Amino acid sequence: MKKEIKSLPFEVKGIQEDEEYFTFDGYASTFGNVDFGDDAIMKGAFMASLAKNSSVPVLWQHQMSEPVGKSIQLNEDEKGLYIKAILPKSDTLVSGRIIPQMKVGSIREMSIGFFTRDSEMDKGIRLIKEIELYEVSLVTKAMNPQALVSGFKSMESIRDIEQSLKDMGLSNSEAKTLISKVKEFSTQREVEEKNQREADIKQKIITDLNNFINSK
């Protein structure tokens, strides 16, 4: 079972502060929406994970070496995964860059790191029914995996793609990491689609055979 990352528009409801912490709250995930990766997270997907662990670290750009806070409230409601988190004011990355950028709106998305425990395919859409959440990250900009996969076909080399990502503001290591994740995403999607096509063909053969037998 592999780790997955999914970036989503993050609806920040507000930012408060006291002597020690900045506190923000909002929705890290919403239910039922089909994203750029042809995935939809279903209501109830986080319940088992939250029952085991109601707090996860908040990271900066999915870097395990860059924790910037932790959740103090995580729960599902009708809309999605609600989160309230604290970020220490004594962390210079938090107070010097992250909070000011959140306030002006340049950091508008959050990404979740998770394992998929249960899912099914429905007309080309992966319905994610159970997730084990292990971190949430504040991210500058979520990428469109399908657009990047298409970009692989039109560019002459991986180096071209890396340079394009750097031009978008990513560091060298971030560009290499993102390319690796997109390649993994592309391979997984191709395998899932192949398996789904084979299952559809088998089901059609069984249905046709049953219809033939019943017609006799």
Closest CA to 85 of 57, 111, 108, 107: 57
Residue 210 is predicted with a pLDDT of 67
Kindly state whether residues 50 and 116 are assigned to the same domain.
yes
Kindly state whether residues 155 and 97 are assigned to the same domain.
no
Kindly state whether residues 25 and 45 are assigned to the same domain.
yes
Which regions of the chain are under pLDDT 70?
1-2, 7-14, 36, 141-171, 174-175, 178-179, 181-194, 208-216
pLDDT in tens, 87-114: 999 999 999 999 998 888 777 778 888 8
Kindly state whether residues 59 and 80 are assigned to the same domain.
yes
Residues 140-150: b if buried by 16+ CB within 10 A, e if exposed: eebbebbebbe
Kindly state whether residues 120 and 166 are assigned to the same domain.
no
122 is written with which tokens?
A: 């429905």
> Could you give the CA distance from residue 7 to residue 138 in angstroms, rounded to a whole number?
9
3-state secondary structure (DSSP) of residue 141:
coil
What is the reported pTM?
Answer: 0.62
Residue 106 is predicted with a pLDDT of 79
Kindly state whether residues 18 and 38 are assigned to the same domain.
yes
Kindly state whether residues 23 and 43 are assigned to the same domain.
yes
138 is written with which tokens?
A: 């504040």
Contacts of 64 by beta carbon, 8 Å cutoff, 6+ apart: 135
Residue 149 is predicted with a pLDDT of 40
Kindly state whether residues 120 and 151 are assigned to the same domain.
no
Kindly state whether residues 91 and 48 are assigned to the same domain.
yes
Of 142, 177, 203, which one is at a domain's C-terminal end? 142
User: Residue 168 sits in which domain range?
Assistant: 147-216
Of 142, 170, 203, which one is at a domain's C-terminal end? 142
Of 142, 176, 196, which one is at a domain's C-terminal end? 142
Residue 48: its H or E element: helix 47-52
Kindly state whether residues 15 and 81 are assigned to the same domain.
yes
Kindly state whether residues 128 and 153 are assigned to the same domain.
no
Residue 213 is predicted with a pLDDT of 63
Domains contained in the chain, number: 2
Residue 28 is predicted with a pLDDT of 82
Q: Are 6 and 28 in contact (CB under 8 A)?
A: no
Residue 5 is predicted with a pLDDT of 74
Kindly state whether residues 171 and 129 are assigned to the same domain.
no
